[in-house]
Amino acid sequence: MENRLTELELKLSLAEDHLQALDRTIFRQQQQIDLLQGQLREMHRRIQSNSPDPGEARNPRDEIPPHY
């Protein structure tokens, strides 16, 4: 009976260790997701601030790549 109890305690301890490792992994992944979302918002803001208004007249010469 004591062997079974010891075995269950070991399994529980191992499961708790795995759960803590998974919690740390999820926490780090959420931090990365938050960082990437912030970067994506910043890129979107920059793109929106650099794009011309749809009603604004555009000069075709502005669209010629610099190597021409």
Contact indicator for 58, 52 with CB cutoff of 8 Å: yes
- Give the pLDDT mean for 3-14: 96
Residue 7 has pLDDT above 90, yes or no: yes
Dihedral of alpha carbons 42, 43, 44, 49, sign:
positive
pLDDT tier at 67, thresholds 50, 70, 90: confident
- The tens digit of pLDDT for each residue in 23-64 reads 999 999 999 999 999 999 999 999 998 876 666 667 777 777
| pTM of the model as a whole | 0.62
DSSP state of 63: G
Q: How many residues does the chain have?
A: 68
Least confident span in 3-12, 15-24, 55-64: 55-64
Cβ-based neighbours of 52, under 8 Å, separated by 6 or more: 58
